[in-house]
A and B are shown apart, each in its own frame.
Chain A
Amino acid sequence: MNEDKERPAAKRVAEIDPLELSRRRPDWSASQPMTRVQKGVLLAVLAVLGAAFLWAPLPTARGLIALCTFFYVIMTLYKFVVIRASLSPSAILRFSAAQIAAQEPREWPVFSVLVPMYKEPETVKQMVAALAEMDYPADKKDVQILLEADDAVTLAAARALTLPPGFRVTEIPESFPRTKPKACNIGLHLAQGEYLVIYDAEDLPEKDQLKKAVMAFESSPANVVCVQSRLNYYNPRQNVLTRWFTAEYSAWFDLQLPGLAALGAVIPLGGTSNHFKTKVLQELMGWDAYNVTEDCDLGVRLGRAGYATRMLETTTWEEACSDVRFWIKQRTRWQKGYIQTWFVHMRNPAKLLRELGFVNFLHYHLLIGGVTFSVLVNPVFWAMALVWFVFRPEGVAQLFPGPVFAAGAACLFLGNFVFVYINLLGCCKRKNDSLMGWALLTPIYWMMMSYSGWRAFIQFFRDPFVWEKTQHGLVKKSQA
């Protein structure tokens, strides 16, 4: 209680501007999805392509296919480089139980924890219990459960609980846009800790994660302002979708993100369990409330501001979405967010290049733009490959002159295999051996990704700010 008094008095929620970033730095915000210049460039490119198709359809198609093939080759090599880098000792920060124990006795800094929730009363109890059990001094925890004012059911569920010391409910006033980052921005203003982390409602972080994060910050250079924990799922065997999802997450968080960290690349942060230095995050004005993957956008902004992100060997267990409909909605949001982020930071490419440096500029395009582009063009190439295998028409062969055919065949046979194999590797590393067989069927999962990719692409132009919320608690329903 005494320490509470020593902490700065919390601002009144109503006084806080959760849209500060979009007001003060509109050029950093997705509040305007595309600038006039971007729209003009896009229309000009489409017009040129249209004219080229009318003027010389075959050479244009050949040129586009050659460009796409080149892109696939680069992406395959890029994945290989990233996975190779993940072997580096600097890829991930590791702290053993003995190292943590050796820290005691010591004064741990106050750690703020933000838990944004919306209409998920069933997860409140589990979330509070998981956070209360975390191995961190209770008086140094500053946990805010961020609840929307109109979410009566979750508010009631939270109020019905006797919250442990250091826990509080922060009510987010109704306003547009109704997004997670907007709630987090209010939480950030009220945070009292030196460090801050975000957890989703259904998250089960490893108990010593906060201590590891503190040690990671203390042992890293000053420019490391964010530490990303690994995410994985506690319901991988619920159905085939959760199996694929877990395989994908294992590869992403256990191999690819560590690889990117080892390369010193811009890291698209995961939705939860990213630990920050609170002050730096406040200086950066928190999250963009208009971006539906505010975490990915923040990762890029950290990079542009000259800060670094590192990976931490600790896992937060989440619930994998087990319903295809909800999975598609969730993936649509993620992919739309990637498109938003790409356009936001490409408003001034020269400035972006200057701020990120050439190598990170390439990382940015391959990670944010490249991934989105590939899910959009994949179906076209799958269709062509299928037509070629089944009907062997001359037309398709004409589109692939000698070297392009060779590169395309290499991507088809080698590239796709590499992508599947990476998922297998992720499962093996996670000791999820029983998922490895399922990971072989990942191409079906890619088709679902492409479907959501196109959905995201269309939604980006029609409803850029719509936040398709992830449905949690499905695992409990299925168990019930």
Chain B
Amino acid sequence: MDQERKTYRLVRLLTGAVTPVVLAAALLAFARLHDVAWEPGAQVAGLCRELLAGTTEGRQALFGSCWVAPLPVLVYLPFAWLLPEPAAGWAAFFSAWLFVFWTVREAVKATGQSGWRILFAQVAVAAMMAVSGQPQALQIATALTAGLMLLAAASLADWAAYRRLRDVVATGASGAFLMLCGFPVFGPAGLAVLLVPLAACGHRETRSRFQAWLLLGGLPLVYAVGVWLLLNRLILGDAFFFLRSLPSLVPALLPFLGALLLPGLLVLPALAVTWFCDARSETPGAGPVAASALLVSFPLVLIATVEVLARFGVDWNRMTLYVCALAVLMIALARLRQPVYRLALSLALFVWLSTLWLGGGAAAPSPAADSGQLCREVESYVNARTPYGRVFVLGYAGLDLLRGYAGERLEPNMDLHVGALRRAYKGQDLYLLVPRPEGPARAESVFWKHPDVYELGGDRLLYAAAFGTWRLFQVVSAPTQEQLDEWKKAR
């Protein structure tokens, strides 16, 4: 008995602390060595800077887009508060990956098999990330999404298999947090939560409590969405502000939303297996076969989601979804009853195969422009023309650009209202610095408010200059009497 307890403690220490720490440190070292310019949360760090400064732009950016998820920012925030860059980024990265390895442990341990399985699964996930040769995939947002996806899928599988109340809570909570990881995972998160009551329908004892499972599983997600809507209403004046980019990104919105539901159909066979196994069982619980079926169906849903997003041209988060899918598949593999050596071999094979996929699937990271240099150039350009110039750098890309900027000439803007700016900065010469609408930048609010701004400018917006992929526009306004007087004097 004592020996058993000792072994149990050792395994717990190893899989719960030692291995996750070692693997997270190894991933950090890998990313740093592979790419010196690599940053674990580039956009996130810029946003945190604004939040810590207490600016309205920071608050608007935190909740203002379904494509830039609030959860990674909220995770990064305490580190940014406590530590200077780049230590804050590394610490946040380290914590995020610790979380992933913890979820791997939680996902595998429910099967009650040996601790080696957990260890192998943790190593396999780390190896997959490392040998893919894609340090850009090692972002904090990716880690959090993958960890939560693992937790949601494994808890759902355990709920189907063993009917433990804790699994309903875990699925509900991870589903809610997944919603805060951005639009691409809205569907899988909703599906996981919806499957909680549905998976309980196979057995008459649990079927009669459908409403309870729905409420307990679904409430966290509904609440998370509710809070997001409320904060949009309070901070941006429009409850649906964070979703407004969708119609401009995907003109055929209804077919797009309909198509996003289709991947959900892929869980139907697994659901049928769950019901079948559950109905045959005397006590509620469909057993490990149903759990495996549900676990395997989840990656299919994720891959199908990527395909749908790709069809409609909004698949810039495909790497995150691939990582999630592969991690869930690895867990499904690690939970199977098989000899440990065979598990090790199959995981190794799987890691090798996944590198082909991840290697090919990843978009090449764009070379990081020297943001400091660009800011200085813009500043010099404006200073050469007016002593009263003020440049608003638009969107999330703007937050990122201004991360290391210490001057006062450039400032971020998340919710462009040219009229309001003119009123607020009367007498000043205003400029807008607009990013190129490509990739995630297409979802910036400026592009759904002024779709052609980058190409054509707009009302009172005149093209001034280009800086790299950025374009500078001058806000045209009638001069004040003071300016006219100065001008006359100068003449």
A residues at B contact (CB < 8 Å): 87, 389, 401-403, 405-406, 410, 413, 417, 421, 424-425, 428-429, 431, 433, 436-437, 440
Contact = CB atoms under 8 A, between A and B. Distances in A.
B216 A425 contact: yes
A424 to B, nearest CB: 6
B449 interface: no
Interface string B194-216: 00000000000000010110011
Report the interface size class on chain B: 20 to 34
12 contacts: A402-B51, A402-B81, A403-B52, A403-B81, A406-B51, A413-B227, A417-B223, A421-B219, A424-B216, A424-B219, A425-B169, A436-B216
B18 interface: no
B220 interface: yes
A436 B52 contact: no
Given A389-B234, A403-B81, A433-B209, A428 B54 contact: no
Could you tell me the dominant secondary structure of chain B's interface residues? helix
Interface in B100-125: none
Given A403-B81, A406-B51, A406-B77, A429 B212 contact: no
Interface string B45-63: 0000001111000000000
Contacts of B87: none
B12 interface: no
- Name the 3 nearest CB pairs between A and B, nearest first: A433-B212, A402-B54, A413-B227
Given A402-B53, A405-B54, A406-B77, A436 B169 contact: no
Nearest to A439: B215
Nearest to B55: A402
Contacts of B215: 424, 436-437
Contacts of A417: 220, 223
A444 B77 CA distance: 32
A429 B216 contact: no
B166 interface: yes
A403 B81 CA distance: 8
A436 B212 contact: yes
Interface string B224-243: 00010000001000000000
B295 to A, nearest CB: 22
A203 to B, nearest CB: 27
B165 interface: yes
Nearest to A401: B54
Nearest to A389: B234
Nearest to B213: A428
Contact of B220 (A410, A421, A429, A437): A421
Contacts of B216: 424-425, 428, 436
Contacts of A437: 215
Interface in B231-278: 234
A417 B54 CA distance: 25
Contacts of A428: 165, 168, 212, 216
A164 B223 CA distance: 55
A410 B78 CA distance: 12
A334 B190 CA distance: 42
Q: Which of B53, B54, B74 has the most CB of A within 10 A?
A: B54
Contacts of B77: 406
A402 B165 contact: no
A417 B172 CA distance: 13
Contacts of B220: 417, 421
A146 to B, nearest CB: 39
B368 to A, nearest CB: 28
A13 B301 CA distance: 75
Contacts of A413: 227
Most chain A CB within 10 A, of B169, B211, B212, is at: B212
A72 to B, nearest CB: 16
Given A413-B227, A417-B223, A425-B165, A402 B212 contact: no
Q: Which of A389, A436, A437, A440 has the most CB of B within 10 A?
A: A436
A464 B81 CA distance: 46
A429 B168 CA distance: 12
B248 to A, nearest CB: 29
Nearest to A433: B212
Nearest to A84: B166
B169 to A, nearest CB: 7
